[in-house]
Amino acid sequence: MGKLLIVGTVAFDAIETPFGKTDKILGGAATFIALAASHYRTDSAIVSVVGDDFPKKYLEGFRQRGIDTSGIEVVPGGKTFFWKGRYHNDLNMRDTLATELNVLADFKPVVPGAHRSADILMLGNLHPDIQLSVIDQMEDRPKLTVLDTMNYWMDHTPDELARVIGKVDVITINDEEARQLSGEYSLVRAAKAIHQMGPRYVVIKKGENGALLFHDGQIFFAPALPLEEIFDPTGAGDTFAGGFTGYLAQTKNISFNNLRNAVIHGSNLASFCVERFGTERLTHLNRQEIDERLDRFRELTQFDIEVK
Ligand code: AMP
């Protein structure tokens, strides 16, 4: 069982989709990552910050799923990070209606001693300086450091982002972000350009069109499972990252071949995430459902063509 350290937001989200809307519910990148990873045998911990308005039952919920919360700082009198978004009829499009940083604005992460030797470090989408600070606090270089980021940091903190990208082994970003980061339209060229910036592995997520893993001139493609029910895409990218790193921490194998499996595990968990609002589906998910869907992934992609 490998140690997985997760850094990212633990938040309140308010979400509107064409199918309904929520008041403040549990959200945040680290939340989705950790809940997804909790479906694997890992020793995982979150580094984050919340205000004292954050319900204790959520922290207890993390602990019940084996997630160490000692690295989640609770700021007395502080307010938890809040994000509000509205999806269009095309669920690939969303507008951010509110981002209230609150306690995140002055967050100085402190990695608890026991987690400074994690095997896998998962840097969820956050200010690159916070991500860098966590990298610097690690005692040994983790076997694998994975970075998730977004276009906001490319626009606002490009130099800091470049420094983080230079220090990680894997980057996961979506296709438009890969194009923006590299200045290349072709995703093959974009991945090549991003390799030059540091990461040996580049994962490009294409939403309902699947995900690509690039490494050393090789490409692996995982489809997204065609789903009957798509309700709320919030957190799908983070859930992918949680399935990806949770599986790698469990198997303790970071070969290219196993990273290919990890992309399938990430895509599999993301397919559940979108079926309900927020974290609901991830928290009511069992091993059998996960395994059945892995089988569907296999069926979807297997074919038998003889190439002469
Ligand atoms: P995703 O749908 O994968 O982009 O992730 C959605 C999650 O990211 C939500 O639960 C939000 O709380 C969180 N989030 C939204 N905006 C930001 C931001 N600027 N920095 C960090 N986390 C954010």
Domains along the chain with CATH numbers? 3-301 (3.40.1190.20)
Q: Give the strands of the sheet with 211-215, arranged side by side.
A: 67-75, 43-51, 3-7, 120-123, 144-148, 170-174, 201-205, 211-215, 218-222
Question: What confidence tens digit (pLDDT) does each residue in 273-301 have?
Answer: 999 999 999 999 999 999 999 999 999 98
- pLDDT at residue 21 in the model: 94
Q: From the alpha carbon of 12, which atom of ligand 1 is closest?
A: 12
**Is the CB of residue 9 below 6 angstroms from any atom belonging to ligand 1?**
yes
Alpha-carbon distance of 12 to 266, in angstroms, equals 23
Atom of ligand 1 nearest to the CA of 234: 2
Chain-centroid distance, C-alpha 15: 18
Low-confidence ranges of the chain (pLDDT < 50): none
Q: Is the CB of 157 under 6 A from ligand 1?
A: no
- Cα(29) to ligand 1 centroid in Å equals 5
| pLDDT at site 51 | 98
- In this prediction, residue 208 carries a pLDDT of 87
Amino acid of residue 116: R
pLDDT given at position 60: 98
Which pLDDT value is given to residue 240?
97
Helix (H, G, I), strand (E, B) or coil at 114: helix
| CB 292 within 8 Å of CB 268 | no
Cα–Cα distance list, 64 to 137, 143, 144, 158, 300 (Å): 27, 27, 26, 38, 34
- Please give the Cα distance from 170 to 46 (Å, whole number): 19
Q: What is the Å distance from ligand 1's center to 83 Cα?
A: 7
> CB-hemisphere CA count at 13 Å for 128?
21
Mutation pick for ligand 1 pocket among 125, 161, 177, 276 (CB with most ligand atoms within 8 Å)? 125
Is pTM beyond 0.95 here?
yes
Q: For residue 229, what pLDDT is reported?
A: 86
Amino acid 146: pLDDT: 98
**Could you give the residue ranges of the DSSP H alpha helices within 14-145?**
29-37, 56-64, 128-137
pLDDT, position 100? 96
> Which residues, 6+ apart, have CB-to-CB distance to 230 below 8 Å?
91, 208, 274, 275
Structure confidence at residue 264 (pLDDT): 97
Q: What is the pLDDT of residues 191-226, one digit of tens each?
A: 999 999 999 999 999 988 999 999 999 999 999 999
